[in-house]
Amino acid sequence: MLLVLAGAAGYSLIEGWSFAQSLYRTILAVTTVESPAAATWAGRLLTVVLLVGGIGAALYTFTLLATVVVEGGLPKYFEQRRRARMLENLRDHFILCGYGRIGRIIARQLLRQSVPFVVVERDEHAVQAALEDGALAVEADASREDVLRRVGIERARGLIAAVGTDAENVYAVLSARVLRPDLFIVGRAETEDATLKLKRAGASRVVSPYEIGGLQIAQTALRPAVVDFVELATSSDNLELAMEEITVAGTSGLAKRSLLDANLRQRFGVIVVGIQRADLRMEFNPDPDAIIGGGDKLVVLGRPESLKKLETEAGGHAGAVA
């Protein structure tokens, strides 16, 4: 464009042509379609410069495009565009902050259960590992509000802060809570002090892998049969038995009915282990006359196909109980 404008100005000054005529003849010269009939030697010299410049610009553009294609720049561009479209289409998903040892385990469980999620990780090698594992990943800082908006926090089902340090997790939770006061947030903590800070930052639940690991080892030593049963009921690989939490919508036919009236055992073949009330109170082994309220979550045990039928009846959604 600069070459064309410079040529048009040059012809106008040297040959005395109008700007429109100069522009027209410049384009002919640059595209090598026709050489303008310049009356002066200066005009002819300008024509030579424009011809050489036009051919050079064309060769440079061709070389640049060839380099982009050969070096994989074009496929990378299309891959980035594809990921951007996937991010825009994400709905009811989890935002997984961090893809270390804990993050990989979480991602593996989400993938097994076909739960949509996106990984936010600063380390490029970890991002590449997440992509190779089949996850959607973004190389960015999870504590930045613009990054959380980019991965669709306003449409997200929840956020899991599993970054390498407690400080990073606190910042990620705080940023997420500011953007979405109603979002369900799970934070990873390594110390008791971090647990308190994460709760103050707005985490809905705080999990300490070390504490859970220690309790699991102790329970396995003391009550191995109980641990085996819980693992069987909560494993995503088990096709015979599953434990799920199912939200009962206020418009569902199950709302405002007792467990006895709902007849869940006979109709769906499931066992109600507990009811989490809308105010987060948990009732274990509820009485048959316990009333199911709108917004309550039923913790039930049964076959996967039975749980799907109950989920449809409840009008809510199911999520694995950990």
Domains of the chain (ranges; CATH) run 2-70 (1.10.287.70), 90-213 (3.40.50.720), 228-320 (3.30.70.1450)
pLDDT at 133: 93
Does the pLDDT value for residue 66 go beyond 80? Answer: no
Using pLDDT thresholds of 50, 70 and 90, give the confidence band for residue 8.
low
Burial of 131 (0-12, 13-18, 19+ CB in 10 A): middle
Q: Characterize 299-321 residue by residue with b for buried, 16 or more Cβ atoms within 10 angstroms of its Cβ, and e for exposed.
A: bbbbeeebbbebbebbbbebbbb
Does the pLDDT value for residue 204 go beyond 60? Answer: yes
Using pLDDT thresholds of 50, 70 and 90, give the confidence band for residue 20.
low
Is 93:152 a contact under the CB 8 Å cutoff? yes
Is 244:278 a contact under the CB 8 Å cutoff? no
Does the pLDDT value for residue 71 go beyond 50? Answer: yes
The rounded distance, in Å, linking the Cα atoms of 91 and 5 is: 49
pLDDT at 22: 65
pLDDT at 318: 47
Region 236-265: what's the mean pLDDT?
84
Report pTM: 0.65
Region 101-114: what's the mean pLDDT?
91
Tell me the two tokens of residue 164. Answer: 């390498």
pLDDT one-digit tens code per residue, 256-315: 999 999 999 889 999 999 999 988 889 998 999 999 999 999 999 888 888 889 999 998
Does the pLDDT value for residue 226 go beyond 60? Answer: yes
Is 125:60 a contact under the CB 8 Å cutoff? no
Region 34-57: what's the mean pLDDT?
57
Q: Which residues, other chains included, contact 28 with Cβ-Cβ below 8 Å and sequence gap of 6+?
A: 34, 35, 36
- Residue 260: in which H helix or E strand, if any? helix 259-262
CA distances from 128 to 134, 149, 225 (A): 10, 22, 40
Region 73-81: what's the mean pLDDT?
66
pLDDT at 40: 56
Is 151:95 a contact under the CB 8 Å cutoff? yes
Edge-to-edge strands, sheet with 282-284? 282-284, 271-276, 297-302, 242-247, 318-320
If one compares 66 and 316, the residue with the highest pLDDT of the two is 66
Using pLDDT thresholds of 50, 70 and 90, give the confidence band for residue 203.
very high
Highest mean predicted confidence (pLDDT) among 41-55, 78-92, 182-196, 211-225 = 182-196
291 forms beta bridges with: 258
CA distances from 282 to 21, 253, 287, 297, 299 (A): 84, 22, 13, 9, 10
* pLDDT > 70 fraction of the chain, expressed in percent and rounded: 73
The rounded distance, in Å, linking the Cα atoms of 258 and 104 is: 41
> In terms of residues, how long is the chain?
322
pLDDT one-digit tens code per residue, 120-175: 999 999 999 999 999 999 999 999 999 999 999 999 999 999 998 999 999 999 99
pLDDT at 4: 58
pLDDT at 225: 86
CA distances from 2 to 25, 27, 241 (A): 15, 12, 71
250 SS3 class: coil
pLDDT at 322: 40
Is 111:80 a contact under the CB 8 Å cutoff? no
Other residues' Cβ atoms within 10 Å of the Cβ of residue 133: 14
pLDDT at 164: 85
pLDDT at 320: 43
If one compares 248 and 40, the residue with the highest pLDDT of the two is 248
